[in-house]
Amino acid sequence: MPGDASDVASHLAAVCADILGAPTRSVVLHGSLASGDFRPGRSDIDLLVVIDGGIDDARADALENLVRRADLGSASGVDLHVVAADVARAPTREPPLELHVGRYDGSGIGVEVEPRVAAAPDLPAELFTARAHGRALVGAAPHQVIGPVPADWLRERGRHWLATWQSRTDDAENAVHMVLTACRIWRLAVEGVHSAKADAARWALTRDPSLTAVPQALRQYDGDTDARVDEAAIARVLATVLRETG
């Protein structure tokens, strides 16, 4: 695990716990930094905070300021989700979310803030990942605060995004994300395994070596700035995974 990114994650987790105080049940590191798939300059720091009760405006603002102002070292951004303990313990298909603050340096998004989301259909994927591969930086272990998430929910939501991305294959900024995430959705649907992006891509190539967008995306993911992901090849990956997961 890259030392500076690990230190940043630990610092952010500690400050989150200080801001939220006693209601903090756990701050879980998940995603690429926890799975060993972290790529300096490309990967985010993913944190899930589980709290008793809700979050007030003052604390939400403080967490937003923390994410905006943090020195991220080699990380390219932060994805911070705050969820109530009762929601994490018994997930639903579209659970409520107390707060999401996403900072994506170098992207067209910048900083995204979503307070008090009544129904968050992508949150179960965060909970699943945090429970399966996360590591508590503060408080209780992930399996103690996060309940099981049915894999079928993730397959259905994954298929939603695959279909959505079929109209966005010209989005060069997100091409690598679309292709590698499609590979993860595919493997999860077939084997029930949630894997790192690079591992999922290599698995996908064993299923269909002709998917040229996959090695193209891997080269760019591994730092080849000259690598390009062909638009038609992206479309073929999305269509293949939709067919195979239907």
With a cut of 60, say whether residue 2 has pLDDT above it.
no
Pairing type for strands 110-117 and 24-30 reads unpaired
Whether residue 133 sits in one domain with residue 21:
yes
Same domain assignment for residues 203 and 220: yes
Residues 87, 8 share a domain: yes
Is pLDDT at 202 greater than 90 in this prediction?
A: yes
**How many helices (H) and strands (E) are present in the chain, helices listed first?**
11, 6
Per-residue confidence (pLDDT) for residue 225, from 0 to 100:
82
User: Which tens digits make up the pLDDT trace of 41-72?
Assistant: 889 999 999 999 999 999 999 999 999 999 99
Residue 128 contacts residue 95 (beta carbons within 8 Å)? no
Instruction: For residues 205 and 214, give the distance between their C-alpha atoms in angstroms, rounded to a whole number.
Output: 7
pLDDT bracket for residue 3 (50, 70, 90): low
Task: Give CA separation, 55 vs 20, 34, 120, 130, 227, in Å.
Answer: 8, 26, 16, 20, 43
Phi then psi dihedrals of residue 100, to 5 deg: -130, 130
Same domain as 24, residue 90: yes
Could you read off the pLDDT of 181-201 as tens digits, one per residue? Answer: 999 999 999 998 888 899 999
What is the CB neighbour count within 10 angstroms for residue 222? 11
- Asked which of 93, 121, 145 is the last residue of a domain, the reply is 145
Taking residues 2-28, what's their average pLDDT? 93
| Whether 185 and 94 share a structural domain | no
Domain boundary among 127, 145, 163: 145
The reply to whether 38 and 134 lie within a common domain is yes
What pLDDT score was predicted for residue 56?
A: 95
Q: Does the structure show a pLDDT above 70 at 204?
A: yes
Residues 69 and 107 in one domain: yes
Residue 126 scores a pLDDT above 90: yes
Instruction: Return the axis-axis angle of helices 3-20 and 57-69, rounded to nearest 10°.
Output: 160
Residues 120 and 188 in one domain: no
H/E element, 29: strand 24-30
Q: How far, in Å, are 13, 77, 81, 97, 242 from residue 67 at the CA level?
A: 11, 9, 11, 17, 35
Number of domains in the chain: 2
The pTM (predicted TM-score) of the whole model is 0.91
The residue out of 128, 145, 162 marking a domain boundary is: 145
Q: Which letter does DSSP use for residue 134 in this model?
A: -
138 in the same domain as 19: yes
Instruction: Please indicate, yes or no, whether residues 137 and 213 belong to a single structural domain of this protein.
Output: no
Residue 163 and residue 141 share a domain? no
Q: How confident is the model at residue 37 (pLDDT cuts 50, 70, 90)?
A: confident
**Owning domain of residue 204:** 151-245
Same domain, 167 and 182: yes
| Confidence at residue 1, expressed as pLDDT on a 0 to 100 scale | 41
Encoded tokens for 57: 């405006």
